[in-house]
Structure 1
């Protein structure tokens, strides 16, 4: 990857080993501004309150609580006030997220740096660094800004924060002409990026870009300037409660005016309106939503997925496409020694030779893997080391063993073979094997060994006469369970695209191993994908399985292109490079074990084990939880339709008020625990449903709406018939009320059983308790009189049970139709 060099800023400086003087630094600070990559956003209680006051759900809760206070329903008012707490907390958290993300982004940067003023190193605040400064960066420190590496001493850099690759990148100094001039661009191996960390060696960097002009700064700008949108579930529930609230208030007003017009007096009118208000105001919906989202956070945490935004529980159930990292998500994220190919005579000592050529303090993961493989052998202390450089492409250690001075070398196979005494044919055979291993995604090094003659100087590196010892092949192994999880996604019609900074051959090998794209996965490089998206050609996007050599902008482009095509996109990431894509995605999933703080702060979900399998399990849990939330909402609508209609219709027709306030309290004591507890249980094994690409979230399908209306209206008709039949010529209002309440309670229990299938002990207990409340409060004479009821006969109870059986018919029919529809969709898929 080429980096543009601003020649106007670095004229005559690129190849120099002297820094700017104080005057030049001051002038450039005025011209280019401070090296401030992360700006501080607004904060404070007032800004949090401003954000919260824009939430219509908050105003609904406040308004509903006020109505309950005015009508004297203190318990319901307290419930609504308590329900304010999680919503205010969520608004405050969403506001705080940007602040926390900014702090996380800033944590990747140095607070001070060593700058050469002339030839004297001076420690200055990192914000005072200017283009043209010459900065020393040592092992363990991040680069403070972007610039040319003009001197490098065995420098390896961890660029995973920007590239996502697990392997260190070796850096070399940029060569310049006699006048210090360089070409208009430079390879990335001669470039230092702000935020990336030096692992080994020391580099001198001529700063070219500072602040928001750096690659890191561009990522920060994209992350901080985005907006946080309400999820479709929040919007759907807010719209539902707004409609129900408006309808309830209109009905209450109409009922009060009608009762006055019928001559029942002011007290009756007020009582009728207040009772209906308590029954009709849809306060359960936001309470149930809050409860289920909190429950989802807990259940996903048990699946090792830490939810940082409760509303992500809804979005993860709707995911239709996953853009997943390879390194650390599909694979383990660490190099392991996978294969040994010893030359003849070296089967027993190939690893010892490789270990003799390694250094434990190098920070090189290959060295670590080799030394771990020979951990049972005592380490060989070198007497001299000649480290790896980009020019040499090998490293050599001299050591004494058995009274002789020996040399061990490891490095690029073509280089090590050139040092050995093998003939041309044998070298070619080894190189052919190297090519085969590289094509399957392995990183390959060669080893060689020789005994040095007596008197060989330890400060002289031998460059001939080595005996080729063999090859070592390393790989980043696929994580356990990834292939099975991928098959679950594909069976559900969910697209999976692997995005990696690795070479296409490595990415292809991993994709083939996990079954992504079959035997011939479709692989595009980041540049190829960008070109396709720029040209408007969507065919490649529809077929791509892997994006290799991907840079941060490509990942963001991919997410936006998929969303434009109607996909609900989940993105995994671990570094600062992933922050824009994580924030743009419908679900941002950060890695908990190796992810940066920046990635975790902007993500909706953090995986505690960094495993792709956990994503799929979280999707299964999220889908099941969202399905149960919908069932709870369906129950609330089914039970409230007959409750509200009969509470309105019977008084409007001139009959006595059907439900008194105490009856509404009784019914709510059944409805609330049913909605909150019965539908929370999940099956032990959830299966991902077939993904649907509707372009928007649908709380209820047309079939769901029809079922709710049929069940609600059928129950309404049964209650109305039961009331009128029991009222009879004697106008026995108490008996009619008892019959209406018994019918509604039995029908509600049937709704609960039909929707929940009574999964779990809590579902059975709550349903049975609701049923038992009817005879316990209706049959005893003293209790019945206190509640303005009268005991029922056996025939009455049989009619109530028969009504419940009728209500079960549309519930069973709906379940059968849904099962048939799902089977048909999977067959067509």
Structure 2
């Protein structure tokens, strides 16, 4: 894709599209733009017509009519619709109305839930700036960023969002935050020098990319790419091209629906042939009976109950600050075997923190995280008092005064940074040392400064003390500052080898190191120039900074590992930093894999490499996509967490994408299935737990619904084969299936997670929806329900009851047998006698009461009697129904005991 993009750009602009590898003057010439006047307004309009606006296409969305129509796209629904059409042709309007009503209820439930899940979180187009300052006809003016074209000259200022991909022409202390694009937590220092063609995006210092934010300084650049041809646009194309994967549940349910549909059709055809050819029954009567058989065998409540279980799981997750955009994604979380997570802002705080101070003769550790000025200094594990430690006070004073950042508390008393993250970390360090920023700045006012520049690699400030004496403070890259120092804080000559060794140790720990120094200046000095920065400084010490891991992320990773989930950290950061963070959170970081090593690997080699490490560094969007696909090719179900634009393609390609809600970019949220509104990696553990519980509850619902359908179908089939009257009609079957089964199944949707849900290994993607042990349970309970239903029907006829009364008794037998089974199916093999009716799930008792009321209405309410063919039952019939229901309960209790003796805990 990158090659195609460069070829297309080369066709538009002579000389090729590798803008970062071209000198600024060459880029201007290729774009036919003038450095002093920019483009003319007429030329800009012409290019806008030819190349289109600087915007990204809106993501496609399904309209409400299509969403509603797709609710009927299910083999089970097709059979029901066919049955409804047949009953309509036969002028059996009551059955037609009931069948179509069931189908419509299913569709409405699915439509409403999907509509809620599809509410737009944001569009990727919002990543582009809305306004830009552009030079046209020699005059700077603001314009809509969508009107920018290649060749426009754009001004960049601190706080502005870069409106298009720019080749920088001029910079003044320009630093751009590119974490959303590259994963780097530290703002990138920019310059105008061309770089090698193979330089990755994160290291192209002469480029400014659309959607990134200017953190400091100013700059000017020429627009080289707009809209879909920008880096953000390229990532957007990758997102659109990434296929939306079916969830494991969707695949299992589709396969199950197809299988059961063919079984029902085959059984119906054979039954019809048997009734006509063998029993010589009237074709019309056999046809009606076969329709009843098909309706009985179809678990028409299954689509509705699956949707309800998923919706309740979605609601539970939302309460735990995890918002789902697609209902089936909740179950997918329960199937995940690997979590690929971004580092910056996901496992880490995305707040640089000073964690180590290296002074002459000692090294101090600093506690605390983020920009909150709260922390303790320790030496060899023992706390020290900062105010009594003069070398620390000197370094902290330099960190505070040679600093342009500010720390402020917001309305929630959270500390927020205004300025550069590195300077924010040094400011927090100074406050932890007990310094008063306002008082110190008033006591030692700044006279002049040399801002940080990438060529100098340091910042220097000139100050005056209350006695009028001047001094210079210096901070910057350790090698640069060390070369300017002659003395250490104790007055001894600088031992370069010792400090270089300390710098190397810190770098190996993943720390970013800054050196701080001071020297005296002439009292009358009023201006500070580069010429004043000569080798005469006293080295105050070094500060080691890192974007620290979140405490809750460490615990969450450990819990994932206990649950059998592999965690892979994929970041754009340097390998040493990534390995250090990975080790701190408990990942295998001994052999970190970086982008340069990934490039030459084929898919098989990449899969082998991923088995040896949990840390992947310097990863581009293409690398992340390859990693996700390699894991999927290895049979893994992959969740990808992230918050940057660079994560969006992998988020969409993963089996489930998890985006951060607060820090996450619009592009990441748009591509994800799940959004964590608290940006807490620990929330994903709760989401996995809920996902596993959802799958358990769907399996329990299947265990509950299928015996009813099979029992009903068995009763009708047996009656047809034996030439007997049908114990239940098609409309009565639908009554039981929808009113009774779905009502009772609803209780299972509220079933809490099993105690061991996070101690199990992940389910195999190949595990069938219905296991062998489940088939045994379904067959056993189906036999119980069929036998008791047919038995009470024949018992009523034998004692002289009417056909309507016998069928009413059969319907109630089915309903109350299901009620008895409900309290057994809540656990796979544990005894129901060890649970109270309200234990963990009060909904079960509520729906049991509701079922009793509905069955009484079916039996005694005249409108339902006439609609469904019911009749009032005498007390003796109720006694038989309740006795047989107790027998069903007891038989299943015995069957569970046998499973326990065989050592089976789950089905």
CA-CA distance at 1:510 after TM superposition: 1.2
Match of 2:651 among 582, 587, 594: 582
CA deviation digits over 1:402-431, x for unaligned, max 9? Answer: 233232221122222222222665332222
Match of 1:314 among 331, 349, 356: 331
Tell me how large the CA RMSD over aligned residues is. Answer: 4.2
Question: May I ask how many residue pairs the two structures share in their alignment?
Answer: 808
CA-CA distance at 1:84 after TM superposition: 1.9
Answer whether contact 1:631 1:756 (CA < 8 A) is retained. Answer: yes
Q: Do residues 477 (structure 1) and 548 (structure 2) align? A: yes
3-state DSSP class of the match of 1:635? helix
CA distance in 2: counterparts of 1:112 and 1:600, whole angstroms:
23
With normalisation by structure 2, the TM-score equals 0.79
Match of 2:352 among 326, 332, 335: 335
CA distance in 2: counterparts of 1:141 and 1:89, whole angstroms:
41
CA distance in 2: counterparts of 1:32 and 1:778, whole angstroms:
71
Q: Which residue of 2 aligns with 1:397?
A: 461
CA-CA distance at 1:522 after TM superposition: 2.7
CA distance in 2: counterparts of 1:793 and 1:43, whole angstroms:
54
CA-CA distance at 1:540 after TM superposition: 0.9
CA-CA distance at 1:767 after TM superposition: 7.3
Q: 1:42 to 1:227 in 2, by over 3 A?
A: same
CA distance in 2: counterparts of 1:155 and 1:778, whole angstroms:
77
Q: Do residues 217 (structure 1) and 282 (structure 2) align? A: no
CA-CA distance at 1:245 after TM superposition: 5.3
Q: Do residues 514 (structure 1) and 585 (structure 2) align? A: yes
Q: Which residue of 2 aligns with 1:558?
A: 627
Q: Do residues 808 (structure 1) and 900 (structure 2) align? A: no
Answer whether contact 2:570 2:619 (CA < 8 A) is retained. Answer: yes
Q: Which residue of 2 aligns with 1:540?
A: 609
Q: Do residues 762 (structure 1) and 852 (structure 2) align? A: no
CA-CA distance at 1:224 after TM superposition: 2.5
Answer whether contact 1:742 1:800 (CA < 8 A) is retained. Answer: no
Q: Do residues 347 (structure 1) and 417 (structure 2) align? A: no
Q: Do residues 169 (structure 1) and 192 (structure 2) align? A: no
Q: 1:183 to 1:726 in 2, by over 3 A?
A: closer
Q: Which residue of 1 aligns with 2:165?
A: 146
3-state DSSP class of the match of 1:532? coil
Q: Which residue of 1 aligns with 2:73?
A: 57
CA-CA distance at 1:219 after TM superposition: 0.6
Match of 2:313 among 287, 296, 299: 296
Q: Do residues 357 (structure 1) and 402 (structure 2) align? A: yes
CA distance in 1: counterparts of 2:717 and 2:333, whole angstroms:
40
Q: Which residue of 2 aligns with 1:370?
A: 426
Answer whether contact 1:163 1:577 (CA < 8 A) is retained. Answer: yes
Q: Which residue of 2 aligns with 1:418?
A: 483
Q: Which residue of 2 aligns with 1:625?
A: 694
CA-CA distance at 1:725 after TM superposition: 6.5
3-state DSSP class of the match of 1:481? helix
Unaligned regions of 5+ residues in structure 1, if any?
176-181, 823-829
Farther off after superposition, 207-216 or 294-303: 207-216
CA-CA distance at 1:227 after TM superposition: 4.1
CA distance in 1: counterparts of 2:629 and 2:283, whole angstroms:
60
Q: Which residue of 2 aligns with 1:601?
A: 670
CA distance in 2: counterparts of 1:631 and 1:802, whole angstroms:
21
CA-CA distance at 1:617 after TM superposition: 1.5
Farther off after superposition, 217-226 or 682-691: 682-691
Q: Which residue of 2 aligns with 1:195?
A: 211
3-state DSSP class of the match of 2:205? helix
Match of 1:655 among 721, 724, 729: 724
Q: Which residue of 2 aligns with 1:387?
A: 451
CA-CA distance at 1:395 after TM superposition: 0.7
Q: 1:6 to 1:56 in 2, by over 3 A?
A: farther
Q: 1:43 to 1:616 in 2, by over 3 A?
A: closer
Answer whether contact 2:325 2:673 (CA < 8 A) is retained. Answer: yes
Answer whether contact 1:674 1:752 (CA < 8 A) is retained. Answer: yes
3-state DSSP class of the match of 1:572? strand
Q: 1:382 to 1:60 in 2, by over 3 A?
A: farther
CA deviation digits over 1:283-334, x for unaligned, max 9? Answer: 2111101111111111111222111111111211111111101111111121
Q: How does 1:677-716 map to 2 (within 5 A)?
A: 677-683=747-753, 687-688=757-758, 690-691=760-761, 694-696=764-766, 698-716=768-786
CA distance in 1: counterparts of 2:628 and 2:171, whole angstroms:
37
CA distance in 2: counterparts of 1:628 and 1:13, whole angstroms:
63
CA distance in 2: counterparts of 1:697 and 1:217, whole angstroms:
39
CA-CA distance at 1:658 after TM superposition: 1.4
Q: Which residue of 2 aligns with 1:466?
A: 537
CA-CA distance at 1:270 after TM superposition: 8.3
CA distance in 2: counterparts of 1:567 and 1:60, whole angstroms:
30
Match of 1:22 among 40, 45, 48: 40
CA deviation digits over 1:580-602, x for unaligned, max 9? Answer: 11111110100111001111112
Q: Do residues 674 (structure 1) and 744 (structure 2) align? A: yes
3-state DSSP class of the match of 1:543? coil
CA-CA distance at 1:155 after TM superposition: 0.5
CA distance in 2: counterparts of 1:134 and 1:777, whole angstroms:
78
Match of 1:33 among 26, 32, 51: 51
Answer whether contact 1:174 1:190 (CA < 8 A) is retained. Answer: yes
CA distance in 1: counterparts of 2:22 and 2:904, whole angstroms:
64
Q: Which residue of 2 aligns with 1:83?
A: 106
Q: 1:811 to 1:438 in 2, by over 3 A?
A: same
Farther off after superposition, 417-426 or 22-31: 22-31
CA-CA distance at 1:19 after TM superposition: 5.3
Answer whether contact 1:19 1:132 (CA < 8 A) is retained. Answer: no
CA-CA distance at 1:272 after TM superposition: 5.2
CA-CA distance at 1:488 after TM superposition: 2.7
Answer whether contact 1:747 1:807 (CA < 8 A) is retained. Answer: no
Farther off after superposition, 457-466 or 477-486: 457-466
CA distance in 2: counterparts of 1:484 and 1:302, whole angstroms:
21
CA distance in 1: counterparts of 2:420 and 2:788, whole angstroms:
77
Q: 1:533 to 1:259 in 2, by over 3 A?
A: closer
